[in-house]
Amino acid sequence: MTPFNAAVLALLSGPGDNPSLLVTVRAPKMRTHAGQISLPGGGRDSHETPEETALRETWEEVGIDPQYVDVLGTMQKTVAPRTGHVVVPVIGRLTYDSIESAPYPLKLSVNEVSSAHWITLTDLASPLNRGTWQRAERTGPGFAVGELMIWGFTAQIIDRLLVKTSFNEPWDVTRILEIPQRFGSL
């Protein structure tokens, strides 16, 4: 069986010394990962590169036109533990200066996304917002920022992004984060 190929976009905006990352809350009626925080992305069409997939999916999910995104590169592909999907994280940056100067507002696909949020990399990296999530036999890095709980595969990608962008800080891996039910389950 051929693994399902996918790509996600780690989209940054704002000043270089403290950019923000776009995350979405998946719609409650999604077949998989309903209510969980994710990065825009999805399945790759056979003719697409990972970059093209990530840009297309971001356009479909939150309405950001690919012409306003500079692709900076990709991170190492990884296999999503629960689904077995091979996912390529793509790093991009908005071409306009800030979210406030966007040429148009986000347009969420209500079938896929219930809300979208920009979180600074400094907030994500803060040891006060970091911990380890635990469900059944599985654990991993997690982020509790404001009312949002990021865990699972998305948290793994964000953890790697923080290292890649040199925003990573030491944090207490023994601190267990509770996952509120509204943010999904395994």
CATH number for position 130: 3.90.79.10
Domain that holds residue 65: 6-177
pLDDT of residue 184: 67
Mean predicted confidence (pLDDT) in 159-182: 93
- Strand 130-135, strand 176-177: pairing: parallel
Residue 131 maps to a domain = yes
Residue 186 maps to a domain = no
Residue 51 maps to a domain = yes
List pLDDT tens digits, range 53-99.
Answer: 999 999 999 999 999 999 999 999 999 887 888 999 999 999 876 66
Q: What is the overall mean pLDDT for the chain?
A: 89
Question: What is the three-class DSSP state of 85?
Answer: coil
Mean predicted confidence (pLDDT) in 148-159: 95
Residue 182 maps to a domain = no
Residue 1 maps to a domain = no
The residue with greater pLDDT, 35 or 167, is: 167
Q: pTM value?
A: 0.92
In which element (H, E) is residue 10 found?
A: strand 5-13
| 21 to 38, 83, 165, 173, 185: CA distances (angstroms) | 11, 24, 12, 22, 23
Residue 14 maps to a domain = yes
Residue 89 maps to a domain = yes
How many domains does the structure of the chain reveal?
Answer: 1
Q: What's the pLDDT band for 138 if we cut at 50, 70, 90?
A: confident
Cα(154)–Cα(110) distance, integer angstroms: 20
Q: Residue 185: pLDDT above 70?
A: no
Residue 183 maps to a domain = no
Mean predicted confidence (pLDDT) in 93-117: 83
- 84, with CB counted inside 10 A (0-12, 13-18, 19+), is exposed
